[in-house]
Every structure is written in structure tokens, then in C-alpha cells.
Amino acid sequence: MSSIDLTLQIWRQKNNDSLGHLETYPLSGINTDMSFLEMLDVLNEQLTRAGKEPVAFDHDCREGICGMCGAVVNGIAHGPERETTLCQLHMRNFRSGDTLVIEPFRSRAFPIRKDLMVDRSAFDRIIQSGGYVSVNTGGTPDANTIPIPSQVAELAMDAAACIGCGACVASCPNGAAMLFTGAKISQLCLLPQGQPERRQRALAMVETMDREGFGNCTNARECEAVCPKGISIRNIARLNQEFLAASLLEG
């Protein structure tokens, strides 16, 4: 453990209707065992004691699974460490004297609410349009009557690990949500339970994705590079395959 001094440049924006700007805050004596969000807590306590408004940022579980936190740090969503959410990024990744530019996840489909908080409800609407198996509670067969090879379950789990944080969208040059959407489509198209609705699902989710204002994938692979759960762009290939097959067969 050691202690570092930093210069923070943080995006401050009152709400979606006002203009934002970067504001500079020197911050010293940061313990390197702190998480990034704890570093922001320290800043916010200092701002509060100085009678200034703290920086608004979304966060909840602080263990990398709820998907609520996220910001772009020096141009990289969730910061420099691979496969890490912002809450799991620790200050030992930085050196004394560093300047950190901290901005919200930017996308046309993610309006900024305040400072680093954005509105990712478009993701919810993509799932609502078909990211599930339409099964009511009750009347389901015994779980072991649906055998699933271990490798298939593992592949589905790789895709299902998505936490819906939106880093993929924020890093994509096209503001595409295809990694997010592809992950859910992959999980369900790999599993037998997802087969009956396979085609409608692909068509509906892609349509919602487009309507929400997300762009399209051009294989820049930035999403995969920043994904805190290491979701592979193979899932985008599966999305394209599913969408194409569904369009030909249903469209």
C-alpha cells in the first residue's frame, strides 16, 4: 500500500438540457488499495465539506456484478485494467502525478442525467422486446428432462455473464449495442429452451435496438476490449447469423 496524488478532470453536467464541462480537482493522499469509486467517495466528501455539490455517479453492488457503475477514464470505458468494472478498478493502477479524465458513457441512446449518470433504459427495452423464454410460472417439466451438454451450458453462460453496464456502447465508434443484444440472443439460441421463439426474438430485439438509436457493428472490436465480463464478439456473429436466418425464413 502507498499513497498517490492525482489531478482529476471530471465531467460536470447539471442535467440533460444543460451543457457540460470538465472541471479540475486536485486530490492528494489517495491510498492505492482504494477502489476507483472509493476515490470518488473521498473527493465527494471533500466537496461536501467545502459546500460544493458532489459528483453524481451510479453505483450499487461495488463488486462488479450489478452493472450500475461505469465511466470513461482517460478514454477507456471502466478504465485501464482489462475485464474490470469501475468499482473493481483499484488505485494501484495509477501513479502519483497522473491526470485522470473522467467522463460519462456517451451515446445517442444514453442521455446524460447528471455528471457521470446516464440513462440506459434503452437496454431494458431491448430485453423487453424478446430477451427471454416466454414461460409462465408453474407447469414446467422436471429440470433434468432437458439435458444440455456441459459445453453448451458453458457457452451459454459465457454469453449470459453480461451485466448490462453499457461500456460496449460507450466504446463503439458507431454506438452499437450489438454486443449486449448479441449476448442475450446467443445465450438463448444456444439452449434448447430458446428454440421455439428463436426467430421472432432475433427480429424483435434487433428492431428495438435500431429504434432506440443504437448503431451497427463494423467490427472495430472496441466493445470486446472494454467488456468487464470478457464477452466475445462471437456473440455479434451469432446475432447476425440469427437475424439473417430469421429475416430469410420469417421476413
Partner 1 sequence: MKLDARIPSGDLAQKWDNYRFASKLVNPANRRKFTIIVVGTGLAGASASATLAEQGYNVKTFCIQDSPRRAHSIAAQGGINAAKNYQNDGDSVLRLFYDTIKGGDFRAREANVYRLAQVSGNIIDQCVAQGVPFAREYGGTLANRSFGGAQVSRTFYARGQTGQQLLLGAYGALSRQIHSGRVTMYNRREMMDLVVIDGRARGITARNLMNGELESHAADAVVLATGGYGNVYFLSTNAMASNVTAAWRACKHGAGFANPCFVQIHPTCIPVHGDYQSKLTLMSESLRNDGRVWVPIQKGDQRPAAAIPEAERDYYLEKKYPSFGNLVPRDVASRNAKEQCDGGKGVGSTGLAVYLDFAEAIKRDGEATILKKYGNLFQMYEKITAANPLHEPMMIYPAVHYTMGGLWVDYNLMTTIPGLFALGECNFSDHGANRLGASALMQGLADGYFIIATSIAGYIGASSLQPVAATDPAFDESRKNVADRIHRLLRNSMRGPAGKVTVDEVHKQLGRLLWDNCGMARNKAGLEAALEQLPAIRDQFWNDVYIPGNATDINQSLERAGRVADFLEFAEIMIRDALAREESCGCHLREESQTAENEAQRDDANYSHVSVWEYQGEGEPPVMHREPLVFDNVTPSQRSYK
Residues 126-185 that bind partner 1 (CB under 8 A): 127-129, 131-138, 140-144, 146-150, 152-154, 156-157, 160-161, 163-164
Could you give the string, one character per residue 85-104, with x where binding to partner 1 holds by CB under 8 A and - elsewhere? ---xxx-x------------
Of these, 23, 53, 210, 250, which contacts partner 1 (CB under 8 A)? 53
Of these, 18, 21, 28, 60, which contacts partner 1 (CB under 8 A)? 60
How many residues in the shown chain lie near partner 1 by CB under 8 A? 82
CA–chain centroid gap for 87, Å, is: 13
Is 232 within 8 Å of 162 (Cβ atoms)?
A: no
Q: Is 18 in the site for partner 1 (CB under 8 A)?
A: no
Binding window for partner 1 (CB under 8 A); candidates: 4-12, 62-70, 96-104, 215-223: 62-70
Q: At what angle do helices 178-190 and 198-211 cross, to 10 degrees?
A: 170
- Rounded to an integer, what distance in angstroms lies between the CA atom of residue 100 and that of residue 73? 6
Q: Which residue in 76, 54, 122, 70 sits closest to 223, CA to CA?
A: 76
Nearer to partner 1, 144 or 219 (CB): 144
Residues 21-40 binding partner 1 (CB under 8 A) are 31, 33-35, 37-38
Q: In the 8-state DSSP scheme, what is residue 192? A: G
- Rounded to an integer, what distance in angstroms lies between the CA atom of residue 160 and that of residue 20? 35
Residues 63-82 binding partner 1 (CB under 8 A) are 63-68, 81
Nearer to partner 1, 127 or 220 (CB): 127
Could you give the string, one character per residue 183-212, with x where binding to partner 1 holds by CB under 8 A and - elsewhere? ----xx--x-xx------------------
Nearer to partner 1, 59 or 238 (CB): 59
Q: Which amino acid is at 40?
A: L
Of these, 20, 25, 74, 83, which contacts partner 1 (CB under 8 A)? 83
Q: Please enumerate in sequence order all residues whose Cβ is within 8 A of that of 93, keeping only pairs 6 or more positions apart, or say none.
A: 79, 80, 81
Q: Is 15 in the site for partner 1 (CB under 8 A)?
A: yes
Is 184 within 8 Å of 159 (Cβ atoms)?
A: yes
Residue 8 φ/ψ region, left for φ over 0, alpha for ψ in the -120 to 50 degree band, beta for the rest: beta
